[in-house]
Amino acid sequence: MAGIVQGKIALVTGAGSGIGRATALEFARQGAQVVAADIVTESAAETAQLIQAEGGEAASVFVDVTDEAAVAAMVDFTVAEYGRLDCAHNNAGILGALSDIANYPRNEYDRVIAVNVTGTWLCLQAEVRQMLTQDQTEGGHTIVNTASVAGLVSNSAIPAYTVSKHAVVGLTTSAAQSYGDQGIRVNAVCPALIETAMSQPFRAEGEEPSTTRVRQTIDRNGQPEDVAALVVWLSSSAASFITGTPVRVDGGALA
């Protein structure tokens, strides 16, 4: 049976781990050919190998999303490998320090903004430039940015991250408005706590994971696959009237 993104060419950043890896795998399971990009070359390659082991089609490439030349090279690689770019998932991100604003180290603030904001901006810009040169494929072109529930409400434990994810939501709505009539849909996913390497600092040693999800209404921890399913669905023609929307995948945390 054909998948919901059958024949699409999908690019995922931060694909070496966590949510990005799960999304790359789901894109492939739903029929896309996938480019897995990450700053850790080996882990991106591992993701591509996992896809190939399941019979899917994938390649991997290095990217540091803060480096404009590397981002351009990533998009060029995708086009050289598969001929075009249909679906992008801008997902690479970092948490930064856990500190209040008064004590937040300046270099750490700069790092969070560079990866989460400038990195997402540079990727989206390079992707849009490429997509605008292409013919409309069925269902058009799609970009999904990984924001966070911290892009919708504040989390005082991680103020720079909160700033950065609010900016990702702003970038998403701005780009959606600019390119909606040119066949590019741009949405964001807003996960709450998802079990990945990034969320480890929120689990104090010996603490039950359940104590980190007290505000959820669904009684289990969020998994990378929960986010992946949403990203791929937003990238499919089933979501063809959805753009400029930050979609929560939070187990009801903000309900």
Ligand X SMILES: NC(=O)c1ccc[n+]([C@@H]2O[C@H](COP(=O)([O-])OP(=O)(O)OC[C@H]3O[C@@H](n4cnc5c(N)ncnc54)[C@H](O)[C@@H]3O)[C@@H](O)[C@H]2O)c1
Q: Which residues are catalytic?
A: 161
Looking at the Cβ atoms of 18 and 56, the one nearer to ligand X is 18
Count the neighbouring beta carbons within 10 Å of the beta carbon of residue 219: 9
Pick 139 or 145: Cβ nearer ligand X? 145
Q: What are the CA-CA distances from residue 56 to residues 34, 46, 49, 52, 247 (Å)?
A: 8, 13, 9, 5, 28
**Of positions 50, 94, 218, 254, contacts ligand X by CB under 6 A:** 94
The reply to whether 148 sits near ligand X by the rule CB under 6 A is yes
Rule CB under 6 A: say whether 112 interacts with ligand X: no
* Sole binder of ligand X in the list 31, 56, 96, 119 (CB under 6 A): 119
Per CB under 6 A, 197 contacts ligand X: yes
Diameter over CA atoms, the chain: 55
From 39, 88, 92, 31, select the one nearest 58 (Cα to Cα).
31
What Rg do the C-alpha atoms of the chain give, in angstroms?
A: 17
Q: By CB under 6 A, tell whether 199 contacts ligand X.
A: yes
52 makes contact with ligand X (CB under 6 A): no
* From 7, 40, 83, 211, residue interacting with ligand X (rule: CB under 6 A): 40
26 binds ligand X (CB under 6 A): no
Task: State how far the Cα of 132 lies from the Cα of 125, in Å rounded to an integer.
Answer: 11
- Asked whether position 47 contacts ligand X by CB under 6 A, the answer is no
The two tokens of residue 171 are 């970038």
Q: What is d(CA 44, CA 234) in angstroms, rounded to the nearest whole number?
A: 23
Q: Shortest Cβ distance from residue 41 to ligand X (Å)? A: 10
The reply to whether 64 sits near ligand X by the rule CB under 6 A is yes
Token duo for residue 221: 């921890």
Nearer to ligand X by Cβ, of 134 and 173: the residue is 173
